[in-house]
Amino acid sequence: MNTLIQKIIDLNKSNIMWYLTCILLLAITITVLMFKGRRKIILANRIPGPDGYFLVGLLPIFLLGPELLIKHGKNIYRKYKGSLFKIWVCNHLYIVLTDPEDIELVLTNPKLQKKSKEYLVLQESIMGQGIFSISDIKKWKNNRKMVSGGFSFTIIKSFIPIFYEEANTLNNVLRAKCAISNSNDCDISFPVSMATMEMIGKTALGVKFNAQNGGCHRFVENLQTAMHAWEYRISHPWYLNKTVFRLSSVQHKHYQCQQIINQFTDEIINTKIDELNRSIISCEGEKNETEDEDFGRKTRTVIEILLGNHHAMSHEQIRDEIVTIMIGGQETTALTNACTIFMLAHHQDVQNKVLEELQSIFSVGDHDRPPTYEDLQQMEYLERVIKETLRIFPPLPVFGRSLEEEMEIGGYLCPAGTTLLLCPLFLQSDDRFYANPDKFNPDNFLPDACRSRHPYTFIPFSAGYRNCIGIKYAMLQMKTIVSTLVRNNLLLPSNRCPTPAHLRLMFLSTLKFVDGCYVKIIPRT
């Protein structure tokens, strides 16, 4: 009996020593981190911001979930707007910029073009070293120049018939979904997302995913899963650490998706290279312009433009750029298209003005004809509607830049190793720049109104050196989709979401719907 008691005592001593050792190691780690970051802490303490302890900071807000993150983030922003302010998340310092002059300084400064460490999540995944996530600025400049060739005026103009074809398919899909419902309403978020996916598949890759008609394409399915993995890491900041993420159950599924996406993209690249070589041989040096029998016209896809520079870009670089274009071209426009349709349904006066503009444009000739580039350019009011939607619902609500050396910004010396955060979601709803910012008002983008504001108060596609290269592509695509739906349907609020305030959004890698985006659609007679 005495021996048993002695063993228990020894065991308890062992446990106590183990706990004490862990506490000591943790204390040493914290001390080392604070010592190494003492300069950062000293400078950060001079910058205004919410209370938060080093190594904890605003981590509890992240734990509340991606929907509440927007609400709490907006409250913090409104409290400190007018000045930059700091927040701590664990041991990482973020400095949020609220003044458009400071934002312009950052986005146009050649020394501040490196994306923040959070973009490593994308680099370690299917985007790799694409122009959105790449850190090497020299390579970024070279790659961006070549990728821009796929978004030239001539190229994107040739995509309009594809946009219209898929917009008509979307119209039929939405009508069919509403017909099933007794109230003529439906969740438009997924159908719109699949329409934009089909468009980017045809225009970037020259591939039909059959996404709108229920096709289960391996690229589409695995792309969605990979993106969920990013969102999981962003909403759980401790998983930004690559080593910690490897221990999660999400990592294994993500790796499988990454392999399938890379395999598919490699197959497309190799097939296009073979087609390009055969075309060169058969045409004996004539300009390579392949005819797409399915689309019934001559067009060049983005991948063909990149492969024209395949001697300047490696196979891996082309793959990364293609995946980046696919994600960038699908995620951003899908949200904006859905939100524009939603806001038109809730603002009948605005929808009527859009319809009047469209009736005026299509009053000559065949009223049901497909839109031309010139038609889309005349849709000035619709463009203001789309921009106002982008103001309220920017697809990329937050983006960051890495500050690698101390710099004075907004009257404060900001420490090296900081992430500079720019928040279009909060900036574009700031009452310093927009009167009644919660009101949907396309007149915010009348020429005089735009001239009265600092240009960096509206940055849904970023700005400066690393702005989005697909802005013109996106605007033509969105105008085609929205105009096609308005020409054919009356859009009304759904009983599931009776006011704009009922639309629930959350911040993950992009702005997303929590439980869909419901609209009532009634065919025009």
Q: What is the dihedral of CA 483, 488, 492, 494, to 10 degrees?
A: -100
Tell me the C-alpha distance between 346 and 492, whole Å: 6
Helix (H) or strand (E) holding 76, with range, is helix 66-80
How many Cα atoms occupy the beta-carbon half-sphere of 233 within 13 Å?
28
One DSSP character per residue, 13-38 reads HHHHHHHHHHHHHHHHHHHHHHHHTH
- Taking alpha carbons only, the member of 226, 205, 209, 206 closest to residue 218 is 209
468 labelled binding-site residue: yes
In this structure, the number of other CB atoms found within 10 A of the CB of residue 263 comes to 13
What sign results for the dihedral spanned by CA atoms 451, 452, 454, 460?
negative
Q: Phi/psi at 216 (nearest 5 deg)? A: -100, 80
SS3 (DSSP) at 420: strand
Tokens encoding 336: 């904006």
C-alpha distances (whole Å) from 230 to each of 119, 123, 207, 219, 455 are 10, 11, 25, 17, 31
In this structure, the number of other CB atoms found within 10 A of the CB of residue 67 comes to 14
Q: Which residues contact 66 (CB under 8 A, 6 or more apart)?
A: 231, 235, 506, 507, 508, 512
- Taking alpha carbons only, the member of 219, 253, 215 closest to residue 233 is 253
Task: List residues forming the annotated binding site for heme.
Answer: 468
Task: List residues forming the annotated binding site.
Answer: 468
